[in-house]
Structure 1
Amino acid sequence: MTGRWQMVAALTLCVAIFSVNWTVLDATGTPITWEFSLTPAIEVMLAYAYPVALLGVLIPVKGRLSVLLWGLAGFGLVSAVGAFAVNGGMLVASRVGQGLAAAIVLRAGFELARTHLRGTTWWPAVAIPAVVALVGLNAGPVIGGIIAYYVSFRWILLVCVPLTVVAVVAVALFTPRARPVPATRTDLSG
């Protein structure tokens, strides 16, 4: 696997974590509602906080490795905060933080991939994370339901912390630090 494809694999891991996390609490509404005595309005905010915050992906973010790593660290931190939430408002705030951190990572990762991948390698590098995202969105409720049933919904958020650490290490190891040298006309002709 070349360096560029290792970077795609690391970014795909991030996409997998974020896409599962989008729907992972969908199957755990009742235990959360009971534990925090949530009002219907807070339940709705909890359901939509993460995907609405993901709209932050539209905010222009430079495709820098440091931005990506700080976004991942933020995601892990707000996941831990959510795991230890003492009320519904804190849990909703954690989900908003997760969505914004995920948006920063996705935007910075997309920009880095666009910088380092050109030509025929660009579309597979976009398609692979997209397919993983679709699988993750569908797997989220199943994973969340199993974890909530056997342990607690809090573990759903707590599991994000070590997964984020793995993603930080993978991204740090496999993402190139320097911008690639642009191809010249003579380089393209062979």
Structure 2
Amino acid sequence: MTTDTSSPSRYSGRQRLILLVLLGASFLFAADYSILNVALPEVGAGVGLGLKTMPWIVSAYTLPAAGFMLMFGRLADLFGRRKVFLAGMVLLTAASLLGGFASNPGMLLTARALQGTSTAMAVPAGLSLITTTFAEGPRRDRALGLNGAILSGGFTAGALLGGALVSLLSWRAAFFINVPGAVAILVVTPLLLAESKVPERVKLDLAGAVTVTVGLLAVVYAIIERNIVSAVVGALLLAAFWLIEVRSPAPLAPVRFLKRPTVKWGNYAGIVIFSMETGMIYLMTLYLQNVLHFSPVVTGLVFGVPGLAAVAAGPVAGRIMGRFGSREVLTVALTLQALMVLPLVFLGSSRLALAILIPALFLGFFVHVTCIVAYTVVGTSGLPNEEQGLATGLTSMTHQVALTIGAPVMVSIAATQSNQLTGTHLALGVNVAVTLASVLLIWFGLRPRGRQHGTAAVVPGSQGAAEELSPSLD
């Protein structure tokens, strides 16, 4: 593992092309996640899915995307990052064609499940290709900042493009549009990226891979369906996974890795960042349509315009990380994310509330993306290249699981009140309290740890942190 001390503003021509390809893949997967949300009624009607089963168009994607992330991230380390990345792009192409030609619910849901699996393969592999192409330091921070901006841009573009495609063509175009981009990436990637080095003797921890994957699938299913039995099964399997990793001679996720403060607290931050923001957005969507009685189109614009701030935040976050340190940026940005939710606790039933809501969303989306970049930097810093696939698999899994948790938790809290507006206020208040309490935990969890015998402490994620921190983190 090396640290980049050269100019943060200079990439070589080849590095620029590599970054363009990997960011293009990030954009494609972000857009793929959101593009179908707008078209759900048309898609369901097109293949004969009823209202009760329609949510499975989303769930069929979410389950494998979250459940397989960690395993495929580690497989990228063990068998080659480029190989797993390309396999994910091939699967995305095939799944998109299957979805575009789907004529019944079985074909459609199979296509969505395969799209989720392709995400679990390509996203952590692509992210680890970024973190191994750009050494830890300013260049990597800037690359991850650009990746954060692209993810936000892709998500926003997918939502907007989905509506346009459905209106002008049909819901099938929301699947077919993935194919040209995926094929282009498949052609260009082998010309730019060499295969990563893999261990001479590859040993796959099969027991660990099975227990963590099935355990995560059970937990995510429990969240989606609010199924207690599935939650218990998932918890038991994840506990079994921990015991297996403690005893395995070649663990899928070494316990020393999982215990590192940067890994542990970085991913905890990711859970808070995504679940609280997703929950807030869902509550505000209901508020705009059920309380203020705006149409879905206007609701989309209310979120879409402030979404432009999110795109601008990525490059800014990457630059300030090197100047102030990822611990400081993460905790300050997460504090600001909470403070941007606080005014929403006091929104009333008048449409004048937009004067508060839109500026709060604008600033909130900006700091939210800053949080995303910072937690990704923290969760992947101080680690050798041979563990970057595992690290990015874990951060990507955190992202997917947290997206699944946010809305159900906030809605459950709001549902304790008989009045929707009162319930929304209560849930948003809990959102703010949980986020601010988590800031304190993360700040102390990531406190600088120096070498033993009195050497200077170094902040996790800053230049030189990996070398200074490794004795105390292992």
Q: TM-score, normalised by structure 1?
A: 0.86
Moved more, 67-76 or 44-53: 44-53
One-letter amino acid of the structure 1 residue matched with residue 70 of structure 2: L
Moved more, 81-90 or 109-118: 109-118
- Write the distance in 2 (CA, Å) between the matches of 1:147 and 1:35: 15
- Write the distance in 2 (CA, Å) between the matches of 1:96 and 1:48: 8
- Write the distance in 2 (CA, Å) between the matches of 1:171 and 1:41: 41
Native 8 Å contact 1:82 1:94 kept in 2: yes
Native 8 Å contact 1:26 1:141 kept in 2: yes
Q: Report what 2:188 is aligned to.
A: 170
Shift in Å, 1:78: 0.8
Q: Report what 1:62 is aligned to.
A: 76
Q: How many residues align?
A: 180
Deviations along 1:34-72, one digit per CA (max 9) or x if unpaired, are 222212342111023223332132222325212211111
Native 8 Å contact 2:40 2:57 kept in 1: no
More helix by share: 1
Select the residue among 102, 110, 115 that pairs with 2:132. 115
Shift in Å, 1:178: 5.7
Distance 1:170 1:130, change over 3 A: farther
Q: 3-state SS of the aligned residue for 1:153?
A: coil
- Write the distance in 1 (CA, Å) between the matches of 2:144 and 2:91: 24
Distance 1:4 1:153, change over 3 A: same
Native 8 Å contact 2:100 2:172 kept in 1: yes
* Greater relative CO (CA pairs within 8 A, separation 6+): 1
Q: Report what 2:62 is aligned to.
A: 51
Does the alignment pair 1:12 with 2:29? no
Native 8 Å contact 1:61 1:104 kept in 2: no
Does the alignment pair 1:27 with 2:38? yes
Moved more, 81-90 or 1-10: 1-10
Q: Report what 1:78 is aligned to.
A: 95
- Write the distance in 2 (CA, Å) between the matches of 1:104 and 1:5: 23
- Write the distance in 1 (CA, Å) between the matches of 2:39 and 2:161: 10
One-letter amino acid of the structure 2 residue matched with residue 128 of structure 1: L
Select the residue among 99, 105, 115 that pairs with 2:122. 105
Native 8 Å contact 2:82 2:196 kept in 1: no
Consecutive unaligned residues in structure 1, runs of 5 or more: 183-190
Moved more, 115-124 or 96-105: 115-124
Shift in Å, 1:84: 0.6
Q: Report what 1:143 is aligned to.
A: 161
Distance 1:172 1:41, change over 3 A: farther
- Write the distance in 1 (CA, Å) between the matches of 2:187 and 2:172: 24
Does the alignment pair 1:36 with 2:53? no
Distance 1:176 1:15, change over 3 A: same
- Write the distance in 1 (CA, Å) between the matches of 2:88 and 2:44: 29
Moved segments of 4+, more than 4 Å: none
Percent of matched pairs sharing the same residue: 22
Q: 3-state SS of the aligned residue for 1:118?
A: coil
Does the alignment pair 1:87 with 2:104? yes
One-letter amino acid of the structure 1 residue matched with residue 190 of structure 2: A
Q: 3-state SS of the aligned residue for 1:73?
A: helix
Distance 1:41 1:90, change over 3 A: farther
Which one has the largest radius of gyration?
2
- Write the distance in 1 (CA, Å) between the matches of 2:196 and 2:76: 14
Shift in Å, 1:76: 0.3
Q: 3-state SS of the aligned residue for 2:125?
A: helix
